[in-house]
Structure 1
């Protein structure tokens, strides 16, 4: 596509009935979702041996879902981590696997990082791949500054990422519902930041943003973008303006930062109390914040009585947000 001259975001266009699905990647604590063609088969890109019944689907579930005509949205959610972040990946697997399955949507959660350069990671990551089948290793080098470029297979987009974080929790069913009626091309979705500035200077916050497949293809086709450096989120926003992509949607207040009352934080345009119809919560920096957030969304409601543990004791002394 030709790059139009306008550097500003045009007004969002009405939704169009083009069958598509979603691919995603985390950038600097950014979970980016990229909308894929509806008949695109994620399992062809990322084969998996995992076949559990988790809400965050595996490739086995994707194969089953392919026979269900009711599915109208397919999501590949790639969380960019580092090889040594074993505990956080285990934590995220639990958090996503205990979510209810989204209706009429297939969501595939993967954990993405660069080449393995440590002996222990080559063994331990291989064990993770065998056990879970949800790891994607890209041909790139991890770095802490200036961003990094990585390349996926020819059928997936190229993007850059700076220092990754994994402190955002997406509620997958809510995410699928909010994306279902959005346009399936030229889509740039997330939390618009800074929240008090005009659209011409805003960009999606690193807590998580969504781009459609045509945007991913546009980025991957432009070699010059791979070498640009700058603050990752604002740079990505500049790319969207440069490309003239029109369908820009802010998901505030359903996407927001965690409000830590014990630290004396106040409510702002980007931070508030947990709410029931949340799409994503950001800045879950420690186990306690994760635990309180997951408890708010009743993640442990499936815990059954057993002689192996005392449920009442587990539920006592629980902090209620």
Structure 2
């Protein structure tokens, strides 16, 4: 019998019966996937992972996302390790970032600031205040850990070296940039103690150092003709 002879009716029926389930299965997966490739579903504009709040609130408290335009090419995430009780310090950092945001900067880069703190222990008053911050600013990240100086997020010793070790272990943050000398320790209040193109000043543990640094970079400058200036000087 020749292999080139015309297949019988029963052979064709058997082939159709065998291939039909695979054809249906293939079509059910291929058609939705091809539609996704033509136009992926849009991401909700108000979605955000931190704090359970929309991006609008987060940007108002220190985020640098530009609204309603082309997405900036550079996106920077600034993580701040903090503790639940340090409400005033977090608000100071928010104000310092927010007052420096301009339309030009928002168009050039998106800067998001997130505060990371452990969920335990959390006294009732701090739990309420942290929840209020999360709703108002959307920049609070609660981590399932215990706040302790001996382990976890607030471990003592060289925290920058430890963080680098964690990133290496997780094979993360491969594109690292050394910003020295644009980020440096607080030296004093003389003009030569600060650099013109400063990115960040370290060791601002005391409020007085914060005030001196902010004043040097004219962050606290007020319009001389404003009523607020007259009230502060009177």
Cα deviation digits, residues 117-163 of structure 1 (max 9, x gap): 21111212122222222211111111112x31xxxxxxxxxxx5525
Distance 1:278 1:42, change over 3 A: farther
Equivalent residues in 2 for 1:57-206, closer than 5 Å: 57=63, 61=65, 64=67, 67-69=69-71, 71-101=72-102, 102=105, 103-116=107-120, 117-145=122-150, 147-148=151-152, 161-162=154-155
Per the TM alignment, residue 292 of structure 1 is displaced from its structure 2 partner at its CA by: 1.2
Confirm or deny: 8 A CA contact 1:114 1:138 kept in the other structure: yes
- Classify the secondary structure of the residue corresponding to 2:211: helix
2:212 pairs with 1:292? yes
Segments of 5+ residues of structure 2 without an aligned counterpart are 1-42
Confirm or deny: 8 A CA contact 2:58 2:137 kept in the other structure: no
Aligned-CA RMSD value: 3.5
- Classify the secondary structure of the residue corresponding to 2:144: coil
Confirm or deny: 8 A CA contact 1:76 1:110 kept in the other structure: yes
- Classify the secondary structure of the residue corresponding to 2:218: coil
Matching residue of 2:49: 45
Per the TM alignment, residue 260 of structure 1 is displaced from its structure 2 partner at its CA by: 2.7
Cα deviation digits, residues 281-300 of structure 1 (max 9, x gap): 10112111111111111112
- Classify the secondary structure of the residue corresponding to 1:106: strand
Distance 1:123 1:304, change over 3 A: farther
Cα distance in 1 between the residues matched to 2:132 and 2:108:
32
- Structure with the higher fraction of residues in helix conformation: 2
Cα deviation digits, residues 204-248 of structure 1 (max 9, x gap): xxxxxxxxxxxxxxxxxxxxxxxxxx7433344456677698765
Cα distance in 1 between the residues matched to 2:167 and 2:223:
44
Cα distance in 1 between the residues matched to 2:186 and 2:49:
34
TM value normalised by structure 2: 0.63
Cα distance in 2 between the residues matched to 1:75 and 1:138:
21
* Larger-Rg structure: 2
Segments of 5+ residues of structure 1 without an aligned counterpart are 1-38, 149-159, 164-229, 263-271, 315-321
- Structure with the higher fraction of residues in strand conformation: 1
Aligned length: 183
